[in-house]
Structure 1
Amino acid sequence: MRSLLKVLIFLSPLILRGSVLRQTIEVSPEELTFQKAKGYDVISLPGCDYVYEAGHPHLPIKSVYILLPSNAKLVDFRVTDVSVEKIDGRFNIYPAQHQIPLLKGLSRDFTPPDEAIYSSDKPYPASPLEFAQTGNLGGYRVAAFKFYPLYYVPKRGELYLRRRIEFEVRYEKSLKSETIKRSAVAEKTYRELLSRFVLNPEDIDRFSPKTREEGQFDYLIITDEAYQEAFEPLIAWKTRKGFVGAIRTVSWIDSHYSGYDLAEKIRNYLKIAHADSGVTWVLIGGDTDIVPARNAYVYAEGYTDYAPSDLYYSDLDGSWDADGDHVYGEVADSLD
């Protein structure tokens, strides 16, 4: 039989400055699935990633997002209430394994449980909620957190579900407010996207950035001169659907914008087009021999590689090269 516990957690006194958002996360035990692997228990929960530190208990992690005012910064947060339910049985949770690049055909030996953790009678992970980062989505400010719906007491083989947590997020309006050029169609798309993943979609109206519609186009095709005519019917169709579209050739961007290389010139143009014209959708009209991909730095568990990425043209915050060494996407480059 499951037993229900209620725990009050006060991480720190809340300083009553700024504004506070109160949120709740709930998880049903019926969502859990249980499997066996190498004699260990593997617990799954829909919509979750997993603890990836090798040798640590392989438990679900759920990313949760809170919408803040567009000109706000997160100051702190605290968990105020947790309802916990013990899961029947004795568990030996599968240890997380090292990450390896599968395309290289590499393999590693099985990583056993971390003895310091698995011999402990302390809950793992101890905290139900961790702050990850704040980011920007089309002028909307979003704070990301990691929620740990389960915790494990290894020495006793006990597993607990955090069925419900309540927490508070404190923020202050301290950033410069900017007016964004954006069409009504684009704004509707941003709002629909946010409503699907933030915990507080009811705040979208009051936390939205200021927008204005004049002088914008929202749908852009980047291609080679040889394909420009072929894309004209698509622009015409988009116009009939309510979009305002345009075509720019790679050669035109190359001759009008600065950058270390062609990829950076295209990205610099997109930053300006997004800010000044409200561009929201970009179609890359050609393979990498026409519109170059950015080879982004990839690191995992001691393995280093470079992966072609068109996300470089989508994530327009920063430069992807904060340290200026022309190795893009490193940890030191502070990607949003």
Structure 2
Amino acid sequence: MEEQKKLIFKKWYSLFLMIALIITSFSTISIANTNNSKEKILLTYNFESPIIKTLEIEGLIYERITLSKCMASGKIGEPLIPSKGANILLPPNSKVCNIQVIPGERQDLGDGHIIEPMGKPIPISSVKNDITPIPNEKIYNSNEFYPGKLHSTIDDYYYRGYKILVLLLHPIQYNPTTGELFYYKNLDVEIELIESGEKNDLYRSYEKDRNEIKNKVDNPENAIKYAKESKSSMDDYELLILTSDSLKDGFNSLKEAHDEGGTPTIIKTLTDVGSSDLEDIRNYIRDAYNNWGIDYVLIGGDTNIVPAPILYVYGLDEETWPYETQMPSDLYYACLDGPYNYDGDDKWGEPTDGEGGGDVDLFADVYVGRACVGDTTEVDNFVTKTISYLSRNPDDEYLSNACFVGEYLGDHGIATWGGNYLDQLINGSSDDNYTTVGISASEYNIDKLYDRDYPGNYWPSQEIVNRIEDGFHFINHLGHSSYDYNMRLVNYDVDLLTNDNLCFIYSQGCNAGGFDEEDCIAEHFNVKTTNGAFAGIWNARYGFFWSHSTDGDSQRFQREFWDAVFGENIPEIGKANHDSKEDNIPIIGRSMIRWCYYQTNLFGDPSINILDTTGNTAPNPPNKPNGPSNGIPYIKYKFSATTIDPDEDNVYYKWDWGNGEITDWIGPFNSGDIAEESYRFNEKGSYDIKVKSKDELGAETGWSDPLTIKISFSRFNSRQNTHLRLFTLLHIFFNQIF
């Protein structure tokens, strides 16, 4: 009997030890997994089959490769192989410790190919002819594949506190000696992360910032990982006007117009800043961004009043390679993260002048424009023109007029005529490996003033004067320019303009926007009189095109600007200008891209919206979605929304599930009909579900108010799996000892 009691005691004692061991094991495994785990991001990029065409350049036969949604990224003379830009949102407080790109199925494209070399960028002021692309002999005589790697790391950047890793993917590989060419149908990108412990001071946790970042990255679902914090704000403003004490009162009527139009505006001066030092001004803008929630900054003064940052760029001119220069750039006031002169020398904006010797910040946290005014008269001119445009009736006939002004550039094959470039802005283009939406010929009256088509291949200056006087909403220009010469006009000609129908000008011409020089011609268009242009974008230094190609560096920015306005629904001119830059970040190291990135300054109020002249009215914003407010994971729930379109157009809906996942446009639905969509949440949490709509012509609403749904496990559900595993182990143990 005593022996039996001892045996039972031993069994119960063993049971106690086993339970303790099991509990300890679960805890140990949990701790080990927490301490040793490294978060990973996995993304797949798919590629269509490349298109190969034969072309002749100065008697030499080459092949040109195009690959959808890719871009030429190499250096001068290297094979022109398209690459894919990737913007990847990293979680907060993380940094990259390893990047691996895993190729998918390889598709051979044969051998014997002779791929055209990258061309040399040519200043638009150049008079040289026949600058033929020359192959890099070292690469073209090599028996190794080019580029020979699957990715290049550009850098990581911040946008409003969100961290973005920018990569360049290389799905196409080419052996110049054998002519062998192949591509991968897909590339899997695996990014391994570790915790950095860093928190970016520019993270505001605003919903508008969260919506913006989702449009900039390939993995918007990661946005949900950034905490939604409640951040106190002194006041809420959208536009900061920064000027001098003597000019401040002149901007009051513009502030009032913006306030009445729904853009809360505040005026501050350099006295409020405390100095005219560049870094102090930038820090003041940063504080306004954080404390007031501003999105736009209008610099109210010429460089002698509000100084312009002078950034260093390495490039070329007509005669010399390499060539370096410094240029005025308000980009410094827009991109607020980190330093712009890390090494402390006299060259601001070098690619190693950012935090820790990395690149400088290139994503704009605020959108900046400048009124290059020097006295109260020029302030009055600028404010009068800006308010005049803001007050325009969208039905004004002249707002439907768009003019394209192209000049002879020299004998460069397809690049001989500026008109060949500007044609890509009309109805959009998919040339040169990328697609941009343009100015629609069905919605605008298109007028072409091209040397290419004009008798004698040269239009006189009176032709552009007549068009400005007649009234054109947009004028796009590609041709020779200088500080006091643009579109074959000089400063004196611009001052004589009498047009009341003000225009917006985008010019690729050289130096016309060099506002660090004395009163460049862009200033004459914008602030010297009450006529001319209400705003515009001009180059501070050389603009650049490519010989025998329309993939010019300046061209990419002009195409992307109009794509922002008409393709990405970004009508605000300051925001559209910065979007045109950011679309080119993956190729920031290509030829003159950084040069153009720095120099394309906006002369005008950055918060102005390009007026919609189509006569189409967007649908009413949808009401808050209908659906459950509570649920559990892995169960599909149905949600519904509806809206009315004033024009009775069919409507489409896009859903934001609050976890970073946003649907494509779903529809069409009849105006007023209920649209239903089902969704399953796989993780517990609180999700804000929103919906937006657009009509069949593309007019889009903002997001609706959110419906919040709380997804949670019950106490039973949350512990069920752990208890089940524990019960299984105990069951086995009991069977063994009893």
TM-score range normalised by the length of the shorter chain: 0.7 to 0.9
Provide the alpha-carbon RMSD of the alignment: 3.1
Please name the residue that 1:10 is paired with.
none
Residues 35, 41 of structure 1: 8 Å contact kept: yes
Counterpart check, 1:51 vs 2:43? no
User: Cα gap change, 1:87/1:290 in structure 2, threshold over 3 Å: closer, same or farther?
Assistant: farther
Q: Which of 216, 225, 245 pairs up with 1:206? A: 225
User: Cα gap change, 1:203/1:277 in structure 2, threshold over 3 Å: closer, same or farther?
Assistant: same
Q: How does 1:293-304 map to 2 (within 5 A)?
A: 293-300=308-315, 301-304=321-324
Please name the residue that 1:282 is paired with.
297
Please name the residue that 2:39 is paired with.
19
Residue 274 of structure 1 deviates from its aligned partner by 2.8
CA distance in 2, matches of 1:77, 1:44: 26
Please name the residue that 2:328 is paired with.
308
User: Cα gap change, 1:211/1:328 in structure 2, threshold over 3 Å: closer, same or farther?
Assistant: farther
* Higher strand proportion (structure 1 or 2): 1
CA distance in 1, matches of 2:205, 2:221: 22
The one-letter amino acid paired with 1:270 is I
Please name the residue that 1:176 is paired with.
198
Please name the residue that 2:49 is paired with.
29
Deviation per CA, 1:112-161: give whole Å up to 9, x if none. Answer: 32334323343211222222211111100111111123221222223223
Please name the residue that 2:284 is paired with.
269
Worse overlay, 175-184 or 35-44: 175-184
CA distance in 1, matches of 2:200, 2:351: 28
Residues 240, 265 of structure 2: 8 Å contact kept: yes
Q: Which of 163, 167, 171 pairs up with 1:145? A: 167
Q: Where does structure 1 differ by over 6 angstroms across 4 or more consecutive aligned residues? A: none
Q: Which of 91, 98, 102 pairs up with 1:80? A: 102
The one-letter amino acid paired with 1:323 is D
Q: Unpaired segments of 5 or more residues in structure 1?
A: 1-15
Residues 161, 204 of structure 2: 8 Å contact kept: no
Please name the residue that 1:329 is paired with.
349
Please name the residue that 1:161 is paired with.
183
Q: Which of 306, 328, 337 pairs up with 1:291? A: 306
Q: Unpaired segments of 5 or more residues in structure 2?
A: 1-35, 316-320, 355-359, 362-738
* Higher helix proportion (structure 1 or 2): 2
Please name the residue that 2:240 is paired with.
220
The one-letter amino acid paired with 1:247 is I
SS at match of 1:214: coil
Worse overlay, 307-316 or 44-53: 44-53
User: Cα gap change, 1:127/1:224 in structure 2, threshold over 3 Å: closer, same or farther?
Assistant: same
SS at match of 1:141: strand
The one-letter amino acid paired with 2:141 is S
Residue 56 of structure 1 deviates from its aligned partner by 1.6
SS at match of 2:104: strand
Residues 180, 211 of structure 1: 8 Å contact kept: no
Worse overlay, 299-308 or 82-91: 82-91
CA distance in 2, matches of 1:330, 1:179: 23
CA distance in 2, matches of 1:221, 1:120: 56
Worse overlay, 144-153 or 172-181: 172-181
CA distance in 2, matches of 1:209, 1:234: 34
Percentage of matched positions with identical amino acids: 29
User: Cα gap change, 1:151/1:328 in structure 2, threshold over 3 Å: closer, same or farther?
Assistant: same
SS at match of 2:185: strand
Residue 204 of structure 1 deviates from its aligned partner by 1.2
Deviation per CA, 1:68-126: give whole Å up to 9, x if none. Answer: 11211111111234223233674211122345555466789645323343233432112
The one-letter amino acid paired with 1:330 is E
Residues 178, 209 of structure 1: 8 Å contact kept: no
User: Cα gap change, 1:298/1:132 in structure 2, threshold over 3 Å: closer, same or farther?
Assistant: same
Which protein shows a greater Rg? 2
Please name the residue that 1:7 is paired with.
none
Counterpart check, 1:197 vs 2:216? yes
CA distance in 2, matches of 1:202, 1:37: 46
Residue 275 of structure 1 deviates from its aligned partner by 3.7
User: Cα gap change, 1:262/1:170 in structure 2, threshold over 3 Å: closer, same or farther?
Assistant: same
Q: Which of 131, 141, 150 pairs up with 1:128? A: 150
User: Cα gap change, 1:162/1:231 in structure 2, threshold over 3 Å: closer, same or farther?
Assistant: farther
Please name the residue that 1:320 is paired with.
340
CA distance in 2, matches of 1:120, 1:179: 48
Residues 113, 180 of structure 2: 8 Å contact kept: yes
Residue 17 of structure 1 deviates from its aligned partner by 4.2
**Matched residues, number:** 312
The one-letter amino acid paired with 1:29 is S
Residues 47, 68 of structure 2: 8 Å contact kept: no
CA distance in 2, matches of 1:330, 1:290: 25
SS at match of 2:294: coil
The one-letter amino acid paired with 2:309 is R
**Taking CA–CA contacts closer than 8 Å with sequence separation of 6 or more, which of the two structures ends up with the larger relative contact order?**
1
Residues 202, 337 of structure 2: 8 Å contact kept: no
